[in-house]
Amino acid sequence: MAYPYQLERFVSRYLTNRAADVAQPSYGILEAVVDEHLSRSLQMKGDYIKLSFDYESAQEEQDAQYITYSSKFLEVLVDLAVRDHVAVIRYCPGKDAPSKPEERAAEHLQTAIKNVALVDRAKPYLVPCLRFKFKIAYLGDEREEELHHVWVDGHSGKQIPQYSEIGHIFFNDAPDDIVRPELSLRPLAPLLSAALQALEAAGLDRRKELAAQNLNQRDADLQRTDAYFGSMIADLQLKLSKAKLAKDDVQEKQLAGKLNAVMLQKQHHNNDINDKYRVRREVSLLDAALYMVPRWRVSVQVTAGRGQPAGSTVTLWWDEILRRFVPSSTGLPANHLS
């Protein structure tokens, strides 16, 4: 597929997602009408823009702005996309309410089914769950990169590691026909902090492996440095001792300066070697997607069970992606949500 088409598709989709009215009157030409905010952000004059992604089309359409990889407009748009447009909403398809909820609840609560009674029918909700996509770069003698997905429940702020174990989660661009109330989304800053905290342990083992691999080569380089500078230092120390015995103050001062300079040079070399083989880690957020996950709220009364007071009412959430109960999305009592 030609690169100009990739550029045209990227620009068209971005403008469309930013609520611009985009049209393609002819091959390689895009016309768009944008709102005032986007116009200012893209440094446009007015709300109308005409873009060309094909050289021949640009010659025919003199009023079109020709877009290539070195275009100022493209640089501004990409920077804007990275800074301000890193989230999309995806709706996971819903299914029916969980079958045999009492039996599944008893299994989840680790008690006998006779100890569980359904308080009310299961109620459907959409729970916002954020998928953060990170790139981790390990910087040492060589560079190594890997991608990590971290899932966070946007309502409770809890990590959902089970989602990362699923190869692919199917989704739609719009909600299905079932009307489900949506649970609120927490502020993004603490959710991102939770994702970064979960990411800390993700690459720790790999970082240790790379550091161990570099250890032998680092020690060998340090030994060569010690051998090279060691002979120079020993020779200068011997000459300095002779100058002291001869009480040659001028020679002694010169040799002491040279010895100090060589020792500093050795220290700099050792520092460079240690820096060369030290494994550092850089984390970049590539994008974030908001998945609206169907979950069913199930309230049961427990007469006996592990860790549950007799006669207590427990709220459970049936996750349709995992097809099992998950920890509470809200942490609220059963009667808090309508």
What digits encode the pLDDT tens for the residues 1-32?
A: 344 457 888 888 888 877 788 998 888 899 99
Give the model's pLDDT for residue 214.
Answer: 66
Give the model's pLDDT for residue 335.
Answer: 34
Q: What is the signed CA dihedral for 181, 187, 190, 195, rounded to 10 degrees?
A: 50
> Residues 42, 45, 51, CA angle at the centre, nearest 5°?
65
> Residues 171, 176, 181, CA angle at the centre, nearest 5°?
105
For the record, the structure tokens of 213 come out as 């691999």
Residue 292: CB atoms within 10 A of its CB come to 22
**CA distance readout (Å), 16 to 33, 75, 82, 163:** 10, 18, 16, 29
For the record, the structure tokens of 45 come out as 């004059």
DSSP 8-state assignment for residue 182: B
**CA distance readout (Å), 156 to 138, 185, 187:** 32, 9, 11
**Residue 120 phi, psi (nearest 5):** -150, 165
Q: What residues does 287 pair with on adjacent strands?
A: 133
Give the model's pLDDT for residue 330.
Answer: 46
Give the model's pLDDT for residue 334.
Answer: 34
Which residues of the chain are under the pLDDT cut of 50? 1-4, 330-338
CA 285/CA 290 separation, integer angstroms: 15
Give the model's pLDDT for residue 294.
Answer: 92
